[in-house]
Structure 1
Amino acid sequence: MGEVVNVLVAFAVIVFVFKWATSGKDTTTEGRSPAALLGFRPKQITQEQVDTIHGMFPDIPSDNIRYDLLRTGNVELTSNKILERGFLPAPPPAYYTLYPRPTEATAPQATPTAKVPPAPKPKETLITRYHLEKRISDTEPPQAGSSATDAAHVWQENAEKREASLRERKAKMILAARERLLAQQRQQTSTAEAGPSS
């Protein structure tokens, strides 16, 4: 009689442990810690850090940047990684359970039928980025051996003058490249017009 009770108790314990173990697996996939899901303990980061790196490297996806920042916690380390490799690896699927991508369904829409295409952004050029609109002229760019460009290569004594000199050299290079491009376009149009007439 005592052996039957022991067998029943042992069987009940085994069934209880089995049910507890299998039900625990279902709940822990949802409630696992970020460290268990990602395989490392994520650092505290802000959206500003992600935006900073994305501003410097707009071709790198934000999810890749956020995932690497979660590992490093440092903007400089992540930036150096991009400069060394040229890319950041894509995050694993477990990352998207913690940081889901925004879907179009979550975005507020006025009416489901009236979709207004977004206004195209004006394409940013080097002229607009460096605010050289006032310096655009139809005159020929200075020759390569001119004294103005030679003076720009003289080492300045303080950082402010060196920075101003570098800015001026960049501006001259951009304007000279623009002039070359316009001259090349003018030459192509003139040869295209001269071709059919002959």
Structure 2
Amino acid sequence: METSTIIFAATLVVAFVFLRWLITPIPHATPHEIEEVRRSYNPSSHTSQTSFSNGNSTPTTRSRPSTRQVTDSMIEVVQAIAPQLTPGQIRYDLESSGSVEDTVNRYMETGSLPFPPGESAPAPPPAATDADTSAHNIPPSTVSFNLLEKYGIDPAEGEEGSADAGWGSNKQERTTQLQRKRQQMILNARKRLATSLANDLEEHL
């Protein structure tokens, strides 16, 4: 009799605890607890918020990339090779390339350089006069020899060629190397012109 009574009382206690567990509502997690759980499963999410400081929701702005420093000596070297370019053109290209050699190579390939924003190409020259027309009628061979005399180029020296010794260590060496490149470019154009004239003569014979 006593044993059955004890079993009955224990059963009531277990049933009471079970019913209380069913009736008790599940507590809701606070936002702080949810954030802690999320961080524990994704640690990298904390580092992704480094742009925010002390609860401030405004992200830090990224700084714009600065342009490369351009000196007056760099502009002078390029202008000695291409005097028809404006200082604005040269500076604008040097700011993007950062190298005098790259800017000169781009000029030799394209024949010009882009104008910076807000600067436009100079106005075209006035209408050609009779003197200008006669100047345009000068044979190409004469123009070629005039260029050789103007820049003091010896065709015999240009045909020998020279190995590229690399970029000079000072302004004087760089200016000399760039002048040699310009002379070689004129000699190459002269050779192409001579070949073109020879081909034209062969076609008409």
The question of a shared fold, defined as TM-score above 0.5 by the shorter chain, is answered with no
Structure ranking higher on relative contact order (CA contacts 8 Å, 6+ apart): 2
Q: Which has the larger radius of gyration?
A: 2
Tell me the TM-score normalised to structure 2 length. Answer: 0.30
